Structure 1
Amino acid sequence: MSQAQPKRDSPPVPALLTLPFTGRWIARNSPARRIPSHGTDLLGERYAIDFIGVDERGRTAATRSWGTFFGTEPPERFVGFGRPILAPSGGTVVHAHDGEPDHVARRSQLSLVPYALGQAARLRQGVGAIAGNHVVIQLADGAGFAALVHLRNGSVRVRVGEVVHTGDLLAQCGNSGNSTQPHVHLQVMDNLDLSRAAGLPVRFRSYRVWPPGGRGAELHESGIPGEGAVVEPFRPMV
């Protein structure tokens, strides 16, 4: 399943996307911090970014229990779990996968260590074990393929061949695949063949951002959120 984009001699122009959600989310593993953002160029992840849903106080979950510190927690406890995930741009759905389970969440170091040790085994199991439920859109402007990953089991609402527009509902945020707490992973790549795909840079349009450190909100016409920044799409009144 290989649909390669034309080779570029000059550095690629970042794909201009809209944040694929409503409400507030915190940016993690941002390419604004480092490249490759997730520590690897494998699987087209060079410029990938993660977003974790938060509440008005910036919390990913409103409650804690013994599992927060020593074990695991149900994914339903987290703010982002079940939130709508939207198309970040217009295009055509070229891959849609559902049916992978949502795992328990892990915030404690005691539970994260054995999970990390199982990473190699999950890689051997294939894309489903890593990406979980996911949707890939071939962007209408030829800017590549946008993948939205770790979606909620049973929530994918689009099919291969379907044309989508910016803001269309794709699925819900979940905790499937290689995920330690509910979040959405977004990346743009130049190829559907993950063994050959190169990650492409992205920028997001029209968002409000609260940088780390307690400073007030700023409006950005376009950019890439920094590590730990809380973001919210900004849609001016017309």
Structure 2
Amino acid sequence: MSAQPPVELVLPFTGRWIVQNSPASRVPSHGTELFGSSHAIDFVPVDANGRSAPRSLGSVFGTEPPDAFVGFGRAILAPLSGEVVRVHDGEVDHVARRSMGAQLGYALTQRSRIRGGAPAIAGNHIVICSDGAVVLLAHLRAGSVRPRPGDRVDAGDAIGECGNSGNSTEPHLHVQVSDSIERNGRGVALAFLRAGAPAWVPRNGEIVVV
């Protein structure tokens, strides 16, 4: 578990998002410390009813196209100012898997993705470095990544779009701070800034509206 003070970030999106796999609910948040993910958090775009996509036969028995989800293609913003030190784009946005059967089959292939390293796990992603903090934004939409390594970005700049690439069962954004995104990376605590209140880490099931 990280002993460092939390790295404070701005929320990297607008709209309505539900929280999953939050370090406010457990650490390691994703059930592992691999790839610096011990304090990572996931945000899933949802509609006014709290749904990421309408229910369909695919959501019950099979798979669904990523563009059926309300947040697919939604803008992702830089959560802090800093230098872009790593960019990966070109991974496909695969089908979404909300049904139990599709999720079980996907879980059985998890080891092969771990062997594939950061691109197989994070999919299309951007890494921003600021004052030693290494911030990863993962599962971006194929072809949407804007910055290039060496570019300077400011907090709030549009840097990509929400996608379903990498280790992802539906379109969402994975955010983490760590010393590295390689297999042996160590996670660092994070917190998000909000107007008129202390920085916080939203818990699982909390809906964040920006």
Return the alpha-carbon distance in structure 2 between the equivalents of residues 162 and 70 of structure 1: 44
Is the CA contact (8 Å cut-off) linking 2:35 and 2:118 kept in structure 1?
A: no
- Could you tell me which of 174, 187, 190 is aligned with 2:176? 187
Structure with the bigger RCO (C-alpha within 8 Å, sep 6+) is 2
CA distance in 1, matches of 2:95, 2:51: 18
- How far off its partner does 1:195 sit? 3.1
Given that residues 15 and 143 in structure 1 are in contact (C-alpha distance below 8 angstroms), is that contact kept between their aligned partners in structure 2?
no
TM superposition shift of 1:117: 0.3
Q: Do the aligned partners of 2:118 and 2:183 also contact (CA within 8 Å) in 1?
A: no
Q: Does 1:90 align with 2:81?
A: yes
Partner of 1:118: 109
Distance 1:116 1:163, change over 3 A: same
C-alpha offsets along residues 123-169 of structure 1, whole Å, 9 cap, x if unaligned?
A: 12232111100000002xx1510000000000000000000000001
| CA distance in structure 1 between the partners assigned to 2:49 and 2:57 by the alignment | 22
**Equivalenced residues, count:** 209
Q: CA–CA distance in 2 between the matches of 1:157 and 1:30?
A: 27
Identity value in percent: 54
Inter-partner Cα distance in structure 2 for 1:29 and 1:220: 23
Q: CA deviation at 1:220?
A: 4.2
| Post-superposition CA distance 1:19-59 (Å, at most 9, x none) | 10001100000001100000111100010000000112211
**TM-score for the superposition, normalised by structure 2:** 0.96
Q: Give the secondary structure class of the aligned counterpart of 1:138.
A: strand
What residue is the counterpart of 2:205 in the other structure? Answer: 228
Contact 1:144 1:191 (8 Å CA) reproduced: no
1:34 aligned residue (26, 30, 37): 26
Give distance in 1, aligned partners of 2:51 and 2:121.
26
**1:65-84 to 2 correspondences below 5 Å:** 65-84=56-75
CA contact (8 A) 1:50 1:186 kept: yes
Matched position secondary structure for 1:68 = helix
Q: CA RMSD in A?
A: 1.4
**Structure 1 regions of 5+ residues with no counterpart?**
1-9, 208-218, 234-238
Q: d(CA) in 2 for partners of 1:96 and 1:143?
A: 18
The reply on whether 1:44 has 2:36 as its aligned counterpart is: yes
Question: Contact 1:101–1:176 at 8 Å: present in 2 too?
Answer: yes
Distance 1:84 1:196, change over 3 A: same
Aligned equivalents of 1:195, 1:37: Cα separation in 2: 16
1:208-219 map, 5 Å: none
Which structure: larger Rg?
A: 1
Q: Which residue of 2 aligns with 1:5?
A: none
Report whether the alignment pairs 1:200 with 2:185. Answer: no
**Distance change >3 Å, CA 59–CA 100, structure 1 → 2:** same
Aligned to 2:96: 105
Counterpart residue number, 1:55: 47
**Matched residue SS, 1:161:** coil
- For each residue in 1:207-234, what CA deviation from the matched residue of structure 2 results, as whole angstroms up to 9, or x when unmatched? 6xxxxxxxxxxx744100011000023x
Secondary structure of the residue aligned to 1:21 is coil
Cα displacement string for residues 84-135 of structure 1 (whole angstroms, at most 9, x for unaligned residues): 0000000000001100000100110011111000000111223211110000
